Amino acid sequence: GCPTEWDGLSCWPALPLGQSRAVACPEILSVFKKSKGLIQRNCTEWGWSPPSPPYHSACQLETLSSSNDTEAKARHFVTMKVLYTCGYSTSLAALLLAIGIFCCFRKLHCTRNSIHIHFFTSFILRGTAVFIKDRILFSDESIDHCTMSTVTCKAAIAFFQYSVLANFYWLLVEGLYLQTLLLLTFTCDRSYTWGYVLMGWGVPMVTVGVWVLTRLQYDNHGCWDDYSSVYWWVIKAPILLAIFVNFLIFLNVTRMLAQKIRCPDLSRTHKQQYMRLTKSTLLLIPLFGVHYVVFALFPEHVGVDARLYFELVLGSYQGFLVALLYCFLNGEVQAEIRRNWGTWQRSMESNVFNLATQDFTA
């Protein structure tokens, strides 16, 4: 028969003599030309037959072999990688600074900010996982992705899936906490905190553990980075569940805020608090990941262009946006920073005055 072969674009698994196999246009080509063409190869006595029809015909790629076209495609991917690398780097720096602010100032220590810290940490893990995955899987262009099946690359993919799941479930925790605040009228029992921690970190850990055991038992080939496997639903189903629940929470929180603000018996102080929450509600769409619903229910090959730009480029700056809105633009945080800055300035002025007095008396 014919051995497993990687032709630089597609993986052709081993076949007995006389059989044939057809594959769809690789995603890397479909990005540029929307096509559902099939390429077929036969296993003959002399080995694999040439692709029929050739890639440039089946995938409707004009002048595939021209250097200008190839260079344009290469620049497209290089540009995209530079953009999402800058995005994740910016997000990581902003998130680390935001966590440092929440931890350093004692007056900012509360359940709400504790949840924000966990939420920021999930974004940090996600950005770190992207860099690790790129480093291990795509650092060497000569790597045969058809036969690459190392423990390192599988661990990188498992860590990436865990970070993505944790990010979605901490989004869910943020939504549940805000809804709890509204139901309990701005008082929230600290006993819920451990439940939130178990949900945000525990559920993803159990899910990824089940997925790893399933892949080891039933589908242990490659680097586990294929999304066509039926076992991908072990990861995708919990993500869809978190998105759906967050969407319902978003609608319910919006309804509750609208009712409370229109209430004539509401005091001015409480109305101002609810107005601040209403402004926060405008941020719930990026916060709760409602926009993921647009892509979540469609097959992986649909909207490849939009997926790439949204997930890699726009998604990479989401951590920076969250840190900006929930820390740097937070009035409570700004007031605490100004207070401590004023205290530090007065302390410095006092020290300078004491030194000058000592010099004068000396």
Q: Is 63 exposed, middle or buried (0-12, 13-18, 19+ CB in 10 A)?
A: exposed
**pLDDT bracket for residue 62 (50, 70, 90):** very low
- Region 208-224: what's the mean pLDDT? 89
Q: Are 298 and 330 in contact (CB under 8 A)?
A: no
Beta bridge partners of 22: 40
- Region 183-208: what's the mean pLDDT? 81
Flag whether pLDDT at 198 surpasses 80: yes
Among 135-144, 152-161, 257-266, 321-330, the range with the most confident prediction by mean pLDDT is 152-161
Q: Are 34 and 20 in contact (CB under 8 A)?
A: no
6-15, 34-43, 256-265, 348-357: least confidently modelled range: 348-357
| Greater pLDDT, 148 or 321 | 321
Flag whether pLDDT at 340 surpasses 90: no
**pLDDT bracket for residue 71 (50, 70, 90):** low
Across all residues in the chain, what is the average pLDDT? 78
Residues 6+ apart with CB under 8 A from 35: 25, 29, 58, 59, 60
**What is the architecture of the domain spanning 67-332?**
Up-down Bundle (1.20)
Rounded Cα–Cα distance for residues 14 and 90 (Å):
44
SS3 179: helix
**pLDDT bracket for residue 338 (50, 70, 90):** confident
Q: pTM for this one?
A: 0.73
Q: Are 105 and 96 in contact (CB under 8 A)?
A: no
- Given this model, what pLDDT does residue 185 score? 59
Q: What percent of the chain has pLDDT over 90?
A: 21
- Region 106-126: what's the mean pLDDT? 90
Structure tokens at 232: 């991908």
24-33, 169-178, 209-218, 325-334: least confidently modelled range: 24-33
- Given this model, what pLDDT does residue 100 score? 93
- Region 52-69: what's the mean pLDDT? 57
Ranges of H-type helices in the chain: 27-30, 55-58, 67-104, 111-137, 151-183, 192-197, 203-218, 233-262, 268-281, 284-288, 293-296, 304-307, 318-323, 331-361
Flag whether pLDDT at 50 surpasses 70: yes
**First CA to last CA across the chain, in angstroms?**
97
- Given this model, what pLDDT does residue 197 score? 92
> What is the rounded (10 degree) CA torsion for 65, 68, 73, 74?
100
* Residue ranges of the chain that CATH labels 4.10.1240.10: 5-59
* Residue ranges of the chain that CATH labels 1.20.1070.10: 67-332
Rounded Cα–Cα distance for residues 51 and 286 (Å):
44
Flag whether pLDDT at 189 surpasses 90: no
Beta bridge partners of 15: 2
| Greater pLDDT, 267 or 346 | 346
Query: 233-262 and 203-218 are packed helices; what angle lies between their axes, rounded to 10 degrees?
Result: 160
Flag whether pLDDT at 214 surpasses 80: yes
CA-closest candidate to residue 122, choices 11, 199, 177: 199
4-18, 69-83, 296-310: least confidently modelled range: 296-310
Domain 5-59 has CATH 4.10.1240.10: yes
